[in-house]
Amino acid sequence: MLCLSYLLIGLYIFYYFSESDAMEGFSASSSSANNKAHKMDQTFANERNKLLSLVNDPERINNISELYDSDGNLIDSKKVVTDNNTYKFPESGHAHKLLDGMLGIEIGARSYQGFGLTTLNVDLLPSQHAAGGAEVIEEAKSEKADSPTTREGSHNEIDRQLELAGIVRRVDVTLSPKDVDRLPFDEGVLDFVLANRLLAPSSVENSDPFAWDPIISFCEWGRAVKDGGYLYAVLPNKERTFWHREKKSTTIQEVIAAHMKHVKSPLDHIDDPIIWNDNDATEFLWYMGLNVVDTLPQHDSVQGGYALVIQVQRKNGMISSRC
């Protein structure tokens, strides 16, 4: 009986100290996790503040890099605007209702077709659309003659903005073509990404700097947007654009093959290889498994376009298993 008492006392002492060690370990682990979460929150807040300070900077227009039209003529900086009250077509009530009060980016912003949201404008080298640093100006000027956006039958986008609105949108973040599939933003720092007709003049892999692979594009846009945020994509509908109507639609099989590098591009022989109607887009979204929360078959601002609204829901850190 005495031996049994000693045994029980020993087990109690062992349990007590084991539990104490476990609690200390748990406490240390919990403290470390909290510190890590705090650092991540602080990093996120810092990134958001940097973006907001850029959006709200009254000196944005004074810091504009040089812009050239397709003939190499320098554009007067007074014609480069940052405000949202100069659009030729009405702003989108659909986009305002969903995205007002949020911070995002607009990829490929145009002066004649705007949304009036709180965004930074992201674009490519100035030979195609955009303002860029001084180091790329000479490169852009030398490229202009061979630029895909100046090919016969197409408009240089800067010329088109000047023609339709008399002004050019300022670009806040400039990408080079080789980095076009990588946005310079931390994961989850944006409330939304707005891509307006970005998949219209594109092939999946060619010399065109608008060579947006739809699979890579949606994955990358989703990476930069927080959980619960939105991807707002306006796509051209071939049934409503006369220059696309008679052309062959791009199949999901062609997009996948090009993404996997089995072929160079879906349809090299036409200017606009990504050509979809509603059914084509639906098939792509089904393949990607994206969370579509709204559609607008006939967009209220972009003529000939339709809108897809995707809410970001990450699984294993990605918005799609295809990423």
Q: What value, to the nearest 5°, has the Cα angle with vertex 84 and ends 82 and 87? A: 110
pLDDT given for residue 308 in this prediction: 86
Tell me the pLDDT band of 30, cut-offs 50, 70 and 90: low
Pairing of strands 173-174, 119-123: parallel
pLDDT digits (tens, 9 = 90+) for 248-304: 667 777 777 777 764 544 433 334 446 666 677 778 888 999 999 988 877 666 666
User: Across all residues in the chain, what is the average pLDDT?
Assistant: 67
- With 80 as the cut, is the pLDDT of residue 193 above it? yes
User: Which amino acid, one-letter code, is at 195?
Assistant: A
Name which of 106, 249, 256 is nearest 171 in CA terms: 106
Q: Are strands 80-81 and 168-169 parallel, antiparallel or unpaired?
A: parallel
The angle that helices 252-259 and 278-288 make with each other, rounded to 10 degrees, is 50
Angle between helices 278-288 and 214-224 (to 10 degrees): 60
Q: Are 198 and 107 in contact (CB under 8 A)?
A: yes
Per domain, the residue ranges of the chain are: 60-311
What CATH topology corresponds to 60-311?
Rossmann fold (3.40.50)
pTM: 0.70
Distance CA 69, CA 51 (A): 28
User: Residue ranges of the alpha helices (H) in 56-129?
Assistant: 93-99
Residue 258 half-sphere exposure, CB side, CA atoms within 13 Å?
A: 24
pLDDT score of 133 more than 90 = no
Whether the pLDDT of residue 68 is over 50: the answer is yes
Query: Which pairing describes strands 168-169 and 119-123: parallel, antiparallel, or unpaired?
Result: unpaired
**Of 80, 149, 143, 148, whose CA–CA distance to 109 is shortest?**
80
Outline where the chain has alpha helix (H). Answer: 2-55, 93-99, 137-143, 157-165, 214-224, 242-245, 252-259, 278-288
pLDDT > 70? residue 125 = no
